[in-house]
Amino acid sequence: MKNKVKKGLVVILALCMLLTMVPVIGASAAADLDVETNWRDKSISISGTLEDLAGTQASVFVMSPAFSGGFMDIFTNMDLVVAAGQVPVGAAGEFAYTCSVVESVAAGNYTIFVNGAAYGASFTFADATDFPNYYVKDGDTVLIPIIIQDCENLSGGIAKVNYDSNLELLGYYGADGWMVSSKDSDRFLFATGTASASGDVTVGYAIFRASVDGLDDVMALVSFDVEQAVFNSEIVVGGVEATPARINIEVDVLAGDVNLDGKVDLLDVVLLMQFLADTAGYEMSPAQKRAAEVTGNAIIDTADVVVIMQMCL
């Protein structure tokens, strides 16, 4: 019901936008749009100059990678609209639109329509599941490499580390030939006496303690913003990327404790049977799956139920 209402609202919004944009469909396309994506808050910023539309409104649609039609097909494929909105266009044609795409974070080529014109500004939205993965136990410390990408002649810089609340920053550690020191807790300096030759450069490590809030596994993200970098004694601001990381924090589970309450009893047997019969009403979490698999064959089935029953005796 809620979905239906929401979809109805989206369609009404789209129709209103269509009515306001009809006069400008077919307007000549302006210069290419600049698109910046931020995987951390799952947002897209689109900007550019739309001289034809100076002083008016621009309607923007961001379409998911599954969309393959023309502008008019948007209205029969509303499920593929990732974001839509209207923004004012300045007197000189300047235009900027920022939207959140929380509901759709898959990697792929998204397409942008501005007032009916498809722009050559398709882009790829990075998916956190593509990041390098690290697996740690609840309470453990983990070293995340600070990898500055594609940096010939890099000899230093200033960067900031961003991390989720399940991580506690303990400090930094310089890689071979590099010094990393903290300016304050989240920002740090990195420097070397010998400039890097080429490619991706690991300048050091950020050290974290990982923990979970509740009983179950959690995933935490780490990223680095390189604010300034030094190449051949020249300071460069912006445009330098560092590799993010995904940290999977696993709780210690007791074999057979499917409901994660710290003991193995008949409740676990019943819950696992419900999962296997698909009547539990929700999916097993990663920690629950690890607790349920007790026969060592990486498959959760009735053989695991039998073994957990035997554990209860």
Q: Give the residues lining the site for Ca ion (CB under 5 A).
A: 257, 259, 261, 268, 293, 295, 297, 299, 304
CB of 300 to Ca ion, least distance (A): 6
CB of 291 to Ca ion, least distance (A): 8
Minimum CB distance to Ca ion smaller for 152 or for 301 = 301
- Closer to Ca ion by CB, 34 or 261: give it: 261
CB of 296 to Ca ion, least distance (A): 7
Largest CA distance in the chain: 79
d(CA 256, CA 272): 9
CB-closest chain residue to Ca ion: 295
- Beta strand extents in 138-270 (DSSP E only): 141-148, 154-163, 167-174, 178-182, 187-192, 201-210, 218-231, 234-237, 245-250
Minimum CB distance to Ca ion, residue 267 (Å)? 6
For residues 78 and 260, which CB has a smaller minimum distance to Ca ion in the complex? Answer: 260
H or E segment at 305? helix 302-312
Residue positions counted in the chain:
313
Compute the least distance from the CB of residue 48 to Ca ion, in Å: 55
Looking at the Cβ atoms of 68 and 297, the one nearer to Ca ion is 297
DSSP code string of 82-146: EEEEEEE--TTSEEEEEEE-TT----SEEEEEETTEEEEEEEE---GGGSPEEEEETT-EEEEEE
Q: Which of 217/293 has CB closer to Ca ion?
A: 293
